[in-house]
Each structure stands twice: as structure tokens, then as C-alpha cells.
Amino acid sequence: MKTQVVIVGAGPVGLTLAIDLGMRGIECLLVEQKAEPQFLPKMERCNARTMEIFRRLGIADRIRAAGMPQDVPMDIQIIRSMTEPAILRLPYPSVAEARLLTRESDDGSLPLEPYQLISQYTLEPLLLGVAEQLPTVTVMRSTTFLEFTERAGSVLVTVKDPDGVRRTLEAAYLVGCDGGASRVRKQLGIRLEGEGDIARLRQGLFYCEQLYERLPMGNGPRRGRHYLVAGGPPTFMIMQDSTRHWTIHSAVESDEEMRRSFERIIGVPLPYDMLHCGEWRQNLLLAERYGKGRVFLAGDAAHLVIPTGGLGMNTGVGDATDLAWKLAATLQGWGGPGLLASYEAERRQIGERVVGASRYASLGYRAWLTEVRPEIADDTPAGASARAHVAEVANVEQRKSNEMIGAELGYRYVDSSIIDNVPGGPQHDLRAYLPTTWPGARLPHMWLNDGSAIQDRLRSDRYTLIDVAGAHDAKPLRAAFEALGAPLDVLVVPDSALRAVYERDLILVRPDMHVAWRGDRLPQTVDGLASRVTGHSYMNRASCLTGSR
């Protein structure tokens, strides 16, 4: 069987990559050893950047319809049990409230799409259905990846089909989206670097029909998203997208102890079922390389983080969208050799930052846990003092896990061969997002005068030159792109509010919505600019900066 791209692993990352490639007209085979998506608790939140990516794929509304209702509160609460007053409540807007805030925002500081709570066991079947509807995508279920052989111009991939028969697939490129134990990565001989097996916890998935509707119970906490338990072994409970399923992570040794944890948290006898229980390990690991030759890694195959902060799967979706447009451009003939080479340079630095952000978030959670004293459960002045102390510490430390908008939206690519590497730039801040069009950054969301979002005016299969002054001749740059066979749109939107946020008259945006170049006039050597951003050559820095200063 011949195709253009073979993808190993049909989790959210592999499926997103297949959908993105398929929508660009690239033929791909998706190899997945499971017969069907599994009903297991894994990720439970698509962050704002991921939802913007899904919007560009045309599936954001479907994901919201399948996920948690938009009016459900997103509060984080530290509790002893659900029948006792919360020790600390950190309020966060529901999706509906966040969307209203975005509609009223005009300074680029908020994302076009807010987060969405949706469990992986809901998201995977949805993405699988989208992929299977694309004529360019073939999904091979119950099929095991065995090995690959790279040769000049292609990769031969050996798989075992459901009948146990070995088959050979031939593709131009292979992508391993096959998780932390990636067989693709292991065959490449790429090591994971960092901290492995930091801690071991059990994870249980519970179904309780009545719990959400009964909240608050007595003087217990209001409805929210996460409930972190103060006292006993480290334990926290997460409401899943149905509001009937609940996940518990706890440092206990047995399934029976997980049952007791659930019963202790809810505090009243309610009927429930434990649907799953298993052990998992905390890791902070990064692949030393993101691929070799015609073989690439994405998602957990390239980086493993602690779920605290919710950055793991979302970073993998970022890998997928970065790799998809570069693979498509190369296969369609207009992407230069530097385009695919930039994948590792750009995404590995993000992986490294995400590992650091996950460590930072996890240390914040641990910081207030260590302040919990035995008397915290007592109905005494000492108990009240212990609870007040934990609330004070957690009001600072727990926010490190839940307020990561800078890590989600503010990352930018530095020292990439396909952007204008202007020296300097804003600092990377995990907790705060500063809208900027500095080369390498995500284009900030802005509303246009007609009420539309500028992101919706940018086509995902081409570069766009945005002229916010409305006074520039783009013909020379058009000609330079045409000479390379590369697609370029020009969007003229004279708008003083847009100019104030975007800081320059001209913004050149890549297909993935990251800024490649900006300036108040086109550089003298537009051929060099076009050649650089499409991966055909390294451009003379001085000529590029002529328009950027």
C-alpha cells in the first residue's frame, strides 16, 4: 500500500495530524493497534490554543457540543470533603462567560476560543469520525506497527493486520504519535531526557448519577471543576464532561482504597460505580530529537509531562498543526528543504518550556500540600487556623497550576530558520499573556470592524500578508511567492485599533497563524524574505530587518 504519510497512533495528536493533512489534500494512513477508542480517563481539557486550532479545522463547535455544557462553573476548590465548607475556592469563568469576555475584548489579550472541558474518551471518537469521513485518510484499526526502513525518497513501514498478517506500507514520511512508550522513537534510537518515574499514583474513573445535581451538599463546596483534598494521601477529583463521571488521582495502593477515597470525598452515601482503576507514573521527559530523516515524532512520543497544568495533549496538538502544514507544503512542492527541518527547532523548544511549566505547576500543588497540618480536620480554633493557613498558601501556589495562559498562548519560536529572527523580544511568561506580533509569536485574536475575527480571514493553506495601514504595494512580495510556487494572500484591513495592537503596518503570517515577519514597509529583498519563510534559503538578516525595525 502506498500513501504520502503514515501516522502511527490514533490518539488526539495522531488524529489531529491526520485530519489536518487530509483537509490539505494529503493522503495518509493512520495505524492504530486498538480496535476502538477506549473509555479510559486521560486528558479532560482542550485549552484555548487547541480550540483555536480546532476552529481552523472547522470542528470547534462539534467539540463544544460533545463536551461539558458551556454554563458549568470552572472553579477549583480545596476541600476536606464535599459536605464541609471549602477551604479555598478559586473562581474561573464558565465557557459561556469566557466567550462573553472575548466578545467584549478589543485589545488582543484574550483568545478567540476559550478552553473546553471534554474527556479524551469523548474527544477521540469524535476526531476519529471526522478523520474517517475524509477521502484522503485511511484508518487501519487493530493494526500493530512493527518496524520501518528508510530508503531514498520513502519509508517502508511494516505492520501486522488484525489477522496477524504482516503488510508493508510505503510512504514519503512516517510520524510516530504512539505515546510515551513509542516504538517509532525507540527504533530511531532517540532517548528521553529528564526526570522519569517521579511518583506513582492510582487513577480511578467513577460514575455517580446524583453527585453533580446534589452539589452543594450541606455547607459543602459549590459546583466546580477540580476538588483537591487537604489531608491524607495526595488526592484530587476531577469532574468529567458528562458531569456524571468523576476521576480521582490518589497516592494509594489498591483499588479498594480508591473506593474509600471516593466515598470519603463525597461524604454521603450515594450509589456509584468504579469503571476503571489503574496505576500511572509522573514523568518530566523530553526526546533528545523530534525525528530523523523522513521520520518524525509528535505528542507524548516526544514529550511526557505531569498533567498538572493541562499542557500535555494540548502541546501535542500544537506539534500536529506545525508538522501538518510543513509536510503538506513539502509534498505539494513549494516548501523548501528548511521547512521540515524547522519542525524540531521550533517544537522542541516548546516541549522544553512545557516540561518546565509542568514542573512549576506541580511544585505549586505540592507547596501547599506540605503545609497541611493534622489538626486541619478539627472543629477547634487550631483546626480553623490550620485551614486558614492552607488557604493563604494555596491562594498563591495553586494558581500556578490553573493560570497558565502565557504557556498556552504566549509561546513563540526563537532562532527558527524560517522566521525573521529579530534580536530581543518579549519575555516568555507562563502566567501572563502579552499580545504581540513579534516574529515567531501566535497572531493575537482581534475583531475587525465588520465584527468578524481576523483569524477567520486567514486561510490555513497559505501565508497571509496583513496590511493594517492599507497603504502598501504587495505586488513585489506576491511575485516573490509566485516564483517559488508558494501560496500567499494579501489581507488589507485599515484599522487603527488593529495597528495599535499589532505594532507594525505589515504582518506576514504563516499557515499555522504564527508571525513570520513584520515591518512598516517591505524589505528591499522580498525574494530573500519569501525564500526564507518557505524554507528555501537562509536570508541575510540585515535585509530582512530593513522593514522590521
Residue for grid cell 450515594: 270
CA angle, 138 as apex, 37 and 179 as ends, to 5°? 45
The CA-CA-CA angle for residues 12, 18, 20, to 5°, reads 100
Q: Looking at residues 82-86, what average pLDDT do you find?
A: 95
**Gap between the Cα atoms of 516 and 299, Å rounded:** 24
Q: Find residue 45's DSSP bridge partners.
A: 117
**CATH number of the domain at 414-545, please?**
3.40.30.120
Q: For residue range 304-321, list pLDDT tens digits in order.
A: 999 988 899 999 999 999
Considering only CA atoms, which of 334, 280, 319, 290 is closest in space to residue 461?
334
d(CA 437, CA 410): 11
Q: Note the pLDDT tens digit of each residue in 316-361.
A: 999 999 999 999 999 999 999 999 999 999 999 999 999 999 999 9
pLDDT at 546: 40
Domain made up of 5-68+103-193+286-359: CATH architecture: 3-Layer(bba) Sandwich (3.50)
Cβ contact 500:521 at 8 Å: no
Report residue 416 as a C-alpha cell. Answer: 527558527
- Helices marked H in 332-378: 337-369
Decide if 258 contacts 280 (C-beta within 8 A).
no
Cα separation of 72 and 476, whole Å? Answer: 51
Show me where the domains of the chain are located.
5-68+103-193+286-359, 414-545
pLDDT tens readout for residues 29-79: 999 999 999 888 788 899 999 999 999 999 999 999 999 999 999 999 999
Pick from 318, 70, 288, 52: nearest CA to 177: 318
Q: Which of 146, 119, 130 lies closest to 40, judged by CA?
A: 119
Q: How far is CA 303 from CA 11, 23, 179, 264, 356, in A?
A: 15, 26, 9, 35, 11
- pLDDT (0 to 100) of residue 274: 97
Mean pLDDT throughout 449-477?
96
Helix spans in 451-534 (H) = 475-484, 496-502, 526-533
Other CB atoms within 10 A of residue 446 CB: 22
pLDDT value of residue 191:
98
CB of 480 closer than 8 Å to CB of 530: yes
Nearest CA among 149, 135, 160 for reference residue 32: 160
Q: What is the pLDDT of residues 427-445, one digit of tens each?
A: 899 999 999 999 999 999 9
Domain pair 5-68+103-193+286-359 / 414-545, same fold: no
* Residues with Cβ within 8 Å of residue 68, at least 6 apart in sequence: 95, 116, 117, 118, 239, 240, 241, 242, 243
Helix ranges restricted to H, 462-509: 475-484, 496-502
Q: What is the pLDDT of residue 549?
A: 39
Mean pLDDT of the chain: 95
